Amino acid sequence: MQQSEAACQLQRTDATTTQQEYVPNPSAATDSPQRTENTGNTGSVSGSNNPIIVGSSGVNINYNYPLEGPGVPAPRPQHSQRQDQEPRQRTPDPSYQDVGNKTSDILKRVYKTTGSYVQLLPGVDNDQMHIAGIYTKVQLETREGVAVTGQKGETVNSTEYEKIFRLRTKTGELIKRLVFFGMGGVGKSTIFDKIAFDWADQTSKILNGFKLVFLLKMCALSQKSDLVDSTFDQLLGEKSKIEKGELDEFILANPNEVLILLDGFDEMTTKTLDAASFGFILKALNRIVYQECFICVSTRPSRLETLMSTSLVQNPCTHVEVLGFTDDDVKEYVQKFYEKIDPDSGKELIQTVGKSNTLRDFATNPMLLLLICLLWRESKQLPETTSRLFTKAVNYMFTRKDEDKKRASDVSVTEKSETLNAIGQTALRGLMDANQKFSFQEDEFEPKSLDLALKAGILTQQRVIKNLESHNNIQFTHKTMQEYCAARYLQSIHMSNKGLLKRMLCKVVPSQEFKNTLGQLCQTIEGVVSNEFLVRFCCGDNEKCMTDIVNLLDLKFNKDESRYQSNIVQAICRNCFFESQSARAPRCLTSDSHIPSNITVGNSNEFRSLIYLLEIICRSDSRTEQLARVETIQVFRVTRYPVSDLAVALGYMENLRDLRLKECLSEKGALEKTLPSICSQHFTMLIIEDGNTLGGRAAEWAPHIKHLASLEKLQIKSCELQGTDIKHIALAVGDMPNLTDLILDENQTLSGSADSWNKEMPTPITQHLKRLNLSKCNLTWKDFEYIASAVGDMSNLTDLILYGNRRLGGSAGSAKKLPKMTHLRRLDLGGSNLETTDIEHIASAVGDMPELTDLGLTFNGTLASSALLWAKELPKMKHLNRLDLTYCHLNETDIEHIAVAVRDMPVLTDLNLNSNWVFSDLDGLLSHFPSLRGHVKT
């Protein structure tokens, strides 16, 4: 199946019934309180058993899955959900249940027949594939609650419905609101299409639990739209012989059997929302109505914050980030695309994409991969930038052979350019509209340009009835295509009259219209993010446009703005520069604002653009001066390009202090190619996280750390380190006089291997190390014995962090080895599943360690309700100044025993009992247990 919103346009027609016969009569978008309004200011999506739905994102069907056990009816008193509006007239006849069967039959017929074919090239009726033959799963990352930058969720594929829809809250409640988000063309709409088809085809046990699945295109909805009315407009049609009131009754009585898929929140006709004007669709998102229905909604990231506002989707919800294709998914898609066309050509394309990092990056986006396949099918040539890819695709659409006349189109280069500029002007007006328009009327286009764009397939049309009048509703095949055409028009108006300027200034400057338009589009940081594709397309192979855009963004946002906004603008400006493919970087891109002290890159696309800029700078005579400004580089989630691409530029960063690499070492050898280039004498911090190619290979990469003589902190987190790696890491850091922090956390593969550390470890590791962190390494007390022996002679080691090693619980008899670490001041055993008997052994050992003053036992819920047995051991730790017992689920009786015990701990001044759900504040605690005064820090 075509994987992008654009690519997944499903043109549904009926072989026996004309569109006009089945077109419903939706209300127009007005401010009137009529509940039938749902179409916005551009007409509605026509509906029937075979509706034609053409949205800027194409036709995509989204589905949610019931997880309380599909098909389990909710309690009947559901009518209270509509407490704020007049209910529909309902018939008391229980036969309304029949409407569920009738509606289900109609929906399944739509999703399995005309709705199951995927349009490949817009405008070519016979260029289609069945969804079952072309659909390729995309990768998703699911998280509970609000998405947080850096928070890692569970990676699943788009057909693993149980994993997507089985998330529950911490209290066990099923989450029934899901937000799918991702960049344009990444496959959000296609996922919904596939869910609808799988439901209709009855191939999923989870989906089979739903009686009804409604897929609604939000490009045809406004904030006032009603669920039932919109369902008739887009799916059922007025001739379905189903009563709206009865359908409503069925939904209210059986909410657990209803899945609602809302595709394209960012394309909804209303952009400035007013909660007082919400219809039942937006109210359903906020659980004011249809609380127990399962609802999925998709959006681009630019509208995610609005969607997650208090008036719309609130927790609990599931965030589903649509990541796109993996390399294997790309191969599968290409093979399916060319299976019946030319399998050998498909193999050649896979090889071509695999050899180019840029093409590999493009191919992760399903919409761009479709364009790649179409272009390769025609000429076996592919571009290097997104704007070039769209330019080639548009040229192909204009010049492909006419299937009827079997000859090339007569559209000239001039006509193509004039057509794109003309429709681009309309496209730009739509994007600049307060509510952003994605649907237009015929009279908004110049007739000749409209005709040529429709024939090429850049625009699509459908007949709809609005206010009892028939109209042709015009839309671009995809929102990204609308942005591309708008950018082409912006490029065309960029330059002023060159002859006049040559006489006046001897240079070309942007026109006032261009500057005014750009200023309006980028008036806020939200506008910049929302219009990123537009400005990037505008910079495509156009150095002058790029320079003016980058200068405007720099002037407006890079002076006194927050670091967060500044990082966003920097990344977008670098993307613009890459699209221009200019050999000269604008001055502002090489100024303090765009080569700042801190550079953050969060995906492969941003990394590619950064590397392009750095390569240009490295060729300049001022490279050392420019790159000397960089102090911190953070690179994460870069899988398409080797991080070693940074190597050349690192060699000129004389003041680099901090390098952080997360989820970007998927290629073996990348780290050892990168580290030798670091030349800074001020380099103090190296953090490597989720480098799954490092485990078992420290002999190859660890020696390259040794030359970083000024390093103070080294973290190698979640890198699947093996026991054999520790020796090589120890050898590398042994002669580093400034290294004080060694963090090897979340390497669970180290479990049970500490005996080899003790045998092979150089003695001592380093006399300068102060803090050693082995959190969440699945260590046992047997491992700890060897660790204690290995580090016991490290006279400067003061902190040992063993948090989250849950296998330590129940076997602390080996804690007797603790006193070997005579210089230890802080020990963290939090989250270690400690039991009552463990405290006795730990207390005895700590009592023999006069330097140890700080003990962390946080998150040991296994100690709850048993302080009678273990609190009496606490006074043995007579030297303790700080004891952390937060989040141990302690009850009032536990605290009573602790209060008695600490009377005999005169130097204990910082007892932390927070978050044990006993007393709401410190005053309440001390009023019940006065003996804690002087021990609990106020």
Percentage of the chain with pLDDT > 90? 35
pTM above 0.85, yes or no: no
Between these two residues, 649 and 23, which has the higher pLDDT value?
Answer: 649
User: Is 243 within a domain?
Assistant: yes
- The pLDDT of 413-435, averaged and rounded, is 91
The per-residue pLDDT for 474 is 87
Do 264 and 117 fall into the same domain? yes
As separate numbers, helices (DSSP H) first and strands (DSSP E) second, the chain gives: 36, 24
Between these two residues, 110 and 121, which has the higher pLDDT value?
Answer: 110
- Interval 851-866: pLDDT, tens: 999 999 999 999 999 9
Q: Are 282 and 307 in contact (CB under 8 A)?
A: no
User: Is 2 within a domain?
Assistant: no
Name every residue whose Cβ is closer than 8 Å to that of residue 426 and which is 6 or more positions away in sequence: 440, 444, 445
Do 198 and 261 fall into the same domain? yes
- The pLDDT of 133-156, averaged and rounded, is 71
Judged by average pLDDT, the poorest of 83-87, 186-190, 288-292 is: 83-87
Grade residue 594 by pLDDT with cuts at 50, 70 and 90.
low
Rounded to whole angstroms, the Cα distance separating 557 from 617 reads: 23
Do 157 and 281 fall into the same domain? yes
The per-residue pLDDT for 16 is 29
Has residue 934 got a pLDDT over 50? yes
Has residue 1 got a pLDDT over 50? no
Do 301 and 321 fall into the same domain? yes
Q: Give the domain-ending residue among 340, 364, 392.
A: 392
Do 295 and 357 fall into the same domain? no
Has residue 697 got a pLDDT over 60? yes
Q: Are 382 and 375 in contact (CB under 8 A)?
A: yes
The per-residue pLDDT for 898 is 93
Do 227 and 342 fall into the same domain? no
Q: Which residues of 724-756 are buried (b: 16+ CB within 10 A; e: fewer)?
A: bbbbbbbbbbbebeebbbbbbbbbebbeebbee
Between these two residues, 771 and 270, which has the higher pLDDT value?
Answer: 771
The per-residue pLDDT for 304 is 85
The per-residue pLDDT for 98 is 86
Q: What share of the chain is helix, strand, coil (3-state, %, to 5)?
A: 45, 15, 45
User: Is 136 within a domain?
Assistant: yes
Has residue 299 got a pLDDT over 70? yes
Do 256 and 220 fall into the same domain? yes
Q: Are 679 and 646 in contact (CB under 8 A)?
A: no
In eight-state DSSP terms, residue 862 is G
Percentage of the chain with pLDDT > 70? 80
Q: Are 73 and 256 in contact (CB under 8 A)?
A: yes
The per-residue pLDDT for 266 is 85
Do 250 and 143 fall into the same domain? yes
In eight-state DSSP terms, residue 243 is -
Has residue 466 got a pLDDT over 90? no
Do 74 and 51 fall into the same domain? yes
Do 351 and 257 fall into the same domain? no
Has residue 87 got a pLDDT over 60? no
Rounded to whole angstroms, the Cα distance separating 416 from 425 reads: 14
User: Is 123 within a domain?
Assistant: yes
Please list the alpha-helical segments (H only) found in 260-363.
280-285, 304-307, 327-338, 343-355, 357-363
- The pLDDT of 373-391, averaged and rounded, is 84
The CATH number of the domain where 98 resides is what? 3.40.50.300
Q: Give the domain-ending residue among 345, 372, 392.
A: 392
* Locus of tokens 């809250």: 169
- Interval 200-247: pLDDT, tens: 999 888 898 899 999 998 888 889 999 999 999 888 887 788 888 889
Please list the alpha-helical segments (H only) found in 125-210.
131-134, 161-165, 188-201, 205-208
The per-residue pLDDT for 75 is 37
User: Is 38 within a domain?
Assistant: yes
User: Is 189 within a domain?
Assistant: yes
Number of domains in the chain: 2
Rounded to whole angstroms, the Cα distance separating 779 from 764 reads: 21
Has residue 64 got a pLDDT over 50? no
CB atoms closer than 10 angstroms to residue 524? 12
User: Is 69 within a domain?
Assistant: yes
Do 60 and 142 fall into the same domain? yes
Between these two residues, 578 and 752, which has the higher pLDDT value?
Answer: 578
The per-residue pLDDT for 55 is 30
Do 368 and 250 fall into the same domain? no
Between these two residues, 360 and 867, which has the higher pLDDT value?
Answer: 867
- Interval 210-220: pLDDT, tens: 999 999 988 88
User: Is 70 within a domain?
Assistant: yes
- The pLDDT of 175-187, averaged and rounded, is 86
Q: Give the domain-ending residue among 300, 325, 350.
A: 325
Has residue 123 got a pLDDT over 70? no
Note down the domain range covering 334: 329-392
Q: Give the pair of three-digit tokens for residue 243.
A: 């009563």
Grade residue 479 by pLDDT with cuts at 50, 70 and 90.
confident
Has residue 350 got a pLDDT over 60? yes
| Average pLDDT of the residues of the chain | 80
Has residue 95 got a pLDDT over 80? no
